[in-house]
Structure 1
Amino acid sequence: MMKIDGIAAFLAVVEAGSVSHAAQRLNLSKSVVSERLAEIERTLGATLLHRTTRKLTLTEDGLAFLPRATRIMQEIAEAAGDMAERRGTLAGPLRIAAPVTFGRMHLGPALYPFLAAHPKIELSLDLDDRRVDAVSDGYDAILRHGPIVDSRLIAWTLSPSRRLLVASRDYLERSGRPTSLAELEGHRGIFYTNRGLADWRFQTPDGVVQLRAQLGLRVNNGDMMRDAAIAGLGIALLPTFIVGASLKEGALVAIDVGCQAIEEFIYMAHPEGRRPAAKLRAIADHLKTTFGSPPYWEPS
């Protein structure tokens, strides 16, 4: 019979890259982990790992068993979490992905008191600016800013999000302050790589207008976009959760071109067809309350 601790040992070794590191993670001796790994290989009748003095690598059987072993341990952890929730306790593993800048500036500070109040939740938070796939990458939910493009996701709105055109006073003194969309096209733009040069879209009385400015800088991080704008490299279209403090301090100036960027949101989305855990709903409700509407980062 296949034992759960053997599956756990196999996954720990794969993740840690060695038996000794896996033993440290599991708080077990190296010999115990080795024996559990050998036992599951005997049970399966297959060698899961190639062992050399320098490293461990997965065999073909190991590669085939890995996703199933991962699902088994996830199911066990989720079952334990469900039982805890039935008793009124928020507990168990939860895996969420979020953007780097928003995670550092706002998500982390909002989550820390919640996690302190619910110490049995085992949260894994991955900060990544790329558009991760919640379904295939195995996330319980993703936190994102902008439009929702994946129809396989069910989204919960956490907060409205406003984007503003911003630049430094020095840049505007050198290049002039645009007052219309037509004038904006002649300026240097700082663009977010993951959205491309077509990111500047504005709501006008005649509908949505998309325009392109001259490329000044393209980067995949909101912090660097803000800093580049402060350094006078051009105009950036950034959410107020990034530039709110810089506007208050006067390091950046908001630019009015007679219309607003299209409406966006901070949202949490989970895969369609998968019942969201009570702890996920509780986190979403906590974040929504903490952020507020309008959100606390909005400049006056």
Structure 2
Amino acid sequence: MKLDGIAVFVAVAEAGSISEAARRLRIAKSVASDRLVELERSLGATLVHRSTRKLSLTEDGVAFLERASAALRELDAAAADLAERRGTLAGPLRLSAPVSFTRLHLGPALYPFLRAHPSIELTLDLDDRRIDAQAEGYDGVIRHGPMHDSRLVAWRLARSRRLLVAAPDYLARHGSPDSLAALNGHRGIFYTHRGIADWRFVMPGRTVQVRAQVGLRVNNGEVMRDAAVAGLGIALLPMFLAGAAIRAGSLQVVEVGAVTEEEFIYIAHPEGRRPSAKLRTLADCLRAAFGNPPYWESGLGAPSPAA
């Protein structure tokens, strides 16, 4: 058996296709296919069912995958340990992160980290959907919001306050709601990955969900912010998106006597997988870059208490 064949098999199992596995490994699809065939020949077993629609693992493939994945992780960890002994952070690091947060904040924080550790080979995939870090082969995922996936171990990087905001023009035309009940009569701008049920607020001893009228549903936070600035409705936005617009006066905080549930910017890795020194060092660098409280909340004051 050759290690490059095992790496292709594990990548195919995680990606669900040879072409995607080849892309992740940065090799030609034909090379990936040849390595997989050679591995099956050396094992004397068929590991993957091939069809025109999709690939799936055979029983032998399922049995081989767990140990093959563990072996590759151990080899990666051994190589990383040697690099650490030499005082160097090196090797591949594959992350998933949200689009708008990366463009506005994560990217500027990452660039100094990569300059300081030029031997790290970072692959950064931008995607706002919820990622299965284990199945999709990520070393870590960076997200904002609550933690729901118990298969992930999360490290907090910064708090992520969310506030209701609207353009002064919209509030002048439609009035400014002063209670949760008053929100029902207003148009809302909603993030499709959370849905209209996302407007949940913490009151003494209970959580209240509000469903405003749908003005716009969209899967990008910056478009939500821009739609709010254009006066299309009220949006519930994280401060890393809305802070600058609030300070500039193009958005105004809507006070309804309640705050949203506590959320965070976090980096998470699959449970049961030892996080590398690269990931731990990156987390420390990001915490320092974002600050506590995070710099994007500067000048916005403390959260309003629940009524």
Residue 189 of structure 2 corresponds to: 190
Verify the 8 A CA contact 2:5 2:39 in the aligned structure 1: yes
Residue 138 of structure 1 corresponds to: 137
Tell me by how many angstroms 1:158 deviates: 0.7
Is residue 256 from structure 1 mapped to residue 255 from structure 2 by the alignment? yes
Matched pairs, number: 289
Is residue 176 from structure 1 mapped to residue 175 from structure 2 by the alignment? yes
Matches within 5 A, 1:209-224: 209-224=208-223
Matches within 5 A, 1:1-300: 2-5=1-4, 14-15=18-19, 43-44=42-43, 64=61, 75-300=74-299
Distance 2:172 2:290 in 1: 35
Counterpart AA for 2:97: A
Q: Secondary structure at the match of 2:147?
A: coil
148-157 or 79-88: which moved more? 79-88
Verify the 8 A CA contact 1:78 1:93 in the aligned structure 2: no
Change in 2 beyond 3 A, CA 1:140/1:38:
closer
Change in 2 beyond 3 A, CA 1:46/1:185:
same
- Deviating beyond 3 angstroms after TM superposition, the runs of 4 or more aligned structure 1 residues are 4-18, 32-49, 57-61, 63-78
2-11 or 275-284: which moved more? 2-11
* Larger gyration radius, structure 1 or structure 2: 1
Tell me by how many angstroms 1:86 deviates: 3.0
Residue 52 of structure 1 corresponds to: none
Distance 1:131 1:77 in 2: 26
Query: Which digits, 9 at most, give the CA deviation of each residue in 1:141-175, with x for residues without a partner?
Result: 21111111122222211111111111112211111
- TM-score norm. by structure 1 comes to 0.81
Tell me by how many angstroms 1:223 deviates: 1.0
Q: Secondary structure at the match of 1:284?
A: helix
Query: Which digits, 9 at most, give the CA deviation of each residue in 1:232-265, with x for residues without a partner?
Result: 1110000000011111222211111122222211
Change in 2 beyond 3 A, CA 1:9/1:277:
closer
Verify the 8 A CA contact 1:202 1:260 in the aligned structure 2: yes
Unaligned runs of 5+ residues in structure 2 are: 300-307
Change in 2 beyond 3 A, CA 1:36/1:274:
closer
- TM-score norm. by structure 2 comes to 0.79
Distance 2:65 2:179 in 1: 54
Unaligned runs of 5+ residues in structure 1 are: 50-54
Change in 2 beyond 3 A, CA 1:298/1:60:
closer
Change in 2 beyond 3 A, CA 1:70/1:152:
closer
Tell me by how many angstroms 1:92 deviates: 1.8
Change in 2 beyond 3 A, CA 1:113/1:156:
same
Tell me by how many angstroms 1:40 deviates: 5.2
Verify the 8 A CA contact 2:158 2:266 in the aligned structure 1: yes
